[in-house]
C-alpha cells in the first residue's frame, strides 16, 4: 500500500499531464474524425490556461467557473476562426490553423497582463487528479455517444467524401465547424486544468511544438475511436519517465519506439487490439458475425 501511495505521490504530475494530454488528443481527434487536419488546439489550450489563471488571480473567480470561462473563451475564438479557415482543406487548413496559433503566441508575448515572455508564475495548484480524469471520462463518453449518433455518422461521411455528403443533404460546413468549436472547448478546458498543475505557464508552452505533439498523440493512438487518443497520450507522455533509466539515450529509444509503432501500426495503437480481435474471431470462425 505504501508503495502505491509513494508511486502516486512521485508521479502525480506525470499522471496529471497524461490526463491533460488525453483531453487535448481527444480535442484534436474530433476534427480528425471529421476528416479535417487542424493544428490550432495548442493555442486554444493556451487561451483556456491564461484566461482561467488570470480570472483566478485578479478576480478571485472560483476555480470551476474560471475553467468554464476559459474554455468558452477558446470556443468563442474558434467560432469565427473556423468560419474563415474551413474554406481550406488538408495541409492548407493545418497551416492556416498553425499560423493562427503562432499569432496567439505572439500576442501573449506582447501583452503585459499575460506576463509577456515571463509568463504567469505562482499559479495555485488547484487541479486534483480526479478533476482531470473525471473530465477525460466525461469527454470520452460523450464523444463515444456522439460518434454513434447522426452527427457522428455525418462527420464520418464528410471524412470519406465531402461532396457526396453534401449531396445527401449533410450541412458540411456546419458539421465541420461544430467539430472544431467543440474541440476548442475541450482544449480550453484542458489548458485551464493544466495551468493549475504546474504552477507556471508561459507562451512557449503553447507553440508549434505543442501543436504537433498533440497531433502525434492522436495519430499514434489511432482515430477509429475515442480510445485511440487516450492510449496515444498515455504511452507518449509516460515514455520519457519510463525510459529514465536509459539516461542519455532516452531520446533515442523514444524515437525508435515512435518509429516502430507508426510503421507497424500506421493506423494507431488501438488497431493493435483490433488486429488481435480479428485474428481471434477468424480462428473461432466468428469473423462474419462480428
Tell me how far apart the terminal alpha carbons of the chain are, to the nearest angstrom: 41
Q: Report, in Å, the least distance between residue 145 CB and another protein.
A: 25
Q: Which lies closer to another protein via its Cβ, residue 30 or residue 68?
A: 30
Footprint (CB under 8 A) of another protein, residues 95-134: 95-96, 98-100, 102-103, 106-107, 109-110, 116-119, 121-125
Q: Taking CB under 8 A as the rule, does residue 35 contact another protein?
A: no
The alpha helices in 172-269, defined as continuous H runs, are: 172-195, 208-221, 227-242, 250-264
Choices 2-10, 61-69, 149-157, 181-189 (CB under 8 A): range interacting with another protein: 2-10
Least distance CB 163 / another protein (angstroms): 9
Q: Which of 215, 226, 231, 233 binds another protein (CB under 8 A)?
A: 215
Sign of the dihedral through C-alpha 81, 50, 215, 255:
positive
Distance between CA atoms of residues 233 and 96, nearest Å: 24
Closest CA to 88 of 208, 173, 179: 173
Cell of 149: 449518433
Size of the site for another protein (CB under 8 A): 83
Question: Contacts with another protein in 36-65 (CB under 8 A)?
Answer: 37
Taking the least distance from each CB to another protein, the nearer of 68 and 196 is 196
When the beta carbons of 76 and 102 are compared against another protein, the nearer one is 102
From candidates 88, 129, 142, 281, binder to another protein by CB under 8 A: 88
The least CB distance from residue 245 to another protein, in Å, is 3
Residue in this structure with the C-alpha cell 496515444, named with its chain if needed: 232
Question: H or E stretch including 15?
Answer: helix 2-33
**Residue list 243-262, contact with another protein (CB under 8 A):** 243-262
76 membership: H or E segment, kind and range: helix 63-85
Q: How far is the CB of 190 from another protein (least distance, A)?
A: 14
Report the distance separating Cα 35 and Cα 94, nearest Å.
12
Out of 64, 92, 160, 286, which residue is the one contacting another protein (CB under 8 A)? 92
Q: Which residue has the cell 477525460?
A: 136
Reading the block at residue 75, the C-alpha cell is 470556443
Find the binding residues for another protein in span 67-86 (CB under 8 A): 84-86
Q: Which is nearer to another protein, 142 or 172 (CB)?
A: 172
Cβ atoms of 216 and 41 closer than 8 Å: no
CB of 188 to another protein, least distance (A): 19
- How far apart, in whole angstroms, are the C-alpha atoms of residue 31 and residue 175? 10
Q: How far apart are CA 242 and CA 236, in angstroms?
A: 10
Rg of the chain in Å (alpha carbons): 20
Q: Which of residues 110 and 138 has its CB atom nearest to another protein in the complex?
A: 110
C-beta of 119 vs 229, nearer to another protein: 119
Site for another protein in 136-195 (CB under 8 A): 162, 172
Amino acid at each position: 500500500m505504501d508503495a502505491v501511495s509513494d508511486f502516486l505521490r512521485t508521479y502525480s504530475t506525470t499522471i496529471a499531464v497524461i490526463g491533460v494530454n488525453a483531453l487535448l488528443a481527444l480535442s484534436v481527434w474530433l476534427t480528425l474524425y471529421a476528416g479535417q487536419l487542424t493544428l490550432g488546439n495548442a493555442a486554444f489550450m493556451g487561451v483556456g490556461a491564461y484566461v482561467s489563471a488570470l480570472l483566478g488571480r485578479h478576480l478571485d473567480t472560483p476555480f470551476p467557473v474560471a475553467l468554464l470561462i476559459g474554455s468558452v473563451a477558446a470556443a468563442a475564438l474558434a467560432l469565427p476562426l473556423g468560419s474563415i479557415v474551413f474554406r481550406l482543406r488538408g495541409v492548407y487548413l493545418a497551416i492556416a490553423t498553425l499560423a493562427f496559433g503562432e499569432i496567439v503566441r505572439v500576442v501573449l508575448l506582447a501583452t503585459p497582463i499575460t506576463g509577456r515572455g515571463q509568463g504567469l508564475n505562482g499559479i495555485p495548484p488547484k487541479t486534483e487528479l480526479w478533476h482531470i480524469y473525471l473530465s477525460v471520462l466525461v469527454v470520452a463518453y460523450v464523444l463515444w455517444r456522439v460518434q454513434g449518433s447522426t452527427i457522428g455518422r455525418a462527420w464520418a461521411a464528410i471524412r470519406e467524401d465531402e461532396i457526396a455528403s453534401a449531396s445527401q443533404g449533410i450541412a458540411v460546413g456546419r458539421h465541420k465547424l461544430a467539430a472544431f468549436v467543440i474541440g476548442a472547448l475541450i482544449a480550453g478546458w484542458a489548458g485551464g486544468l493544466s495551468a493549475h498543475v504546474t504552477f507556471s505557464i508561459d507562451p512557449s508552452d503553447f507553440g508549434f511544438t505543442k501543436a504537433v505533439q498533440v497531433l502525434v498523440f492522436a495519430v499514434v493512438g489511432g482515430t477509429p475511436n475515442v480510445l485511440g487518443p487516450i492510449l496515444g497520450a498515455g504511452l507518449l507522455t509516460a515514455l520519457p519517465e519510463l525510459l529514465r533509466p536509459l539516461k542519455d539515450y532516452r531520446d533515442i529509444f523514444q524515437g525508435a519506439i515512435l518509429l516502430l509503432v507508426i510503421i507497424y501500426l500506421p493506423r494507431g495503437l488501438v488497431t493493435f487490439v483490433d488486429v488481435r480481435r480479428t485474428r481471434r474471431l477468424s480462428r473461432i470462425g466468428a469473423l462474419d458475425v462480428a
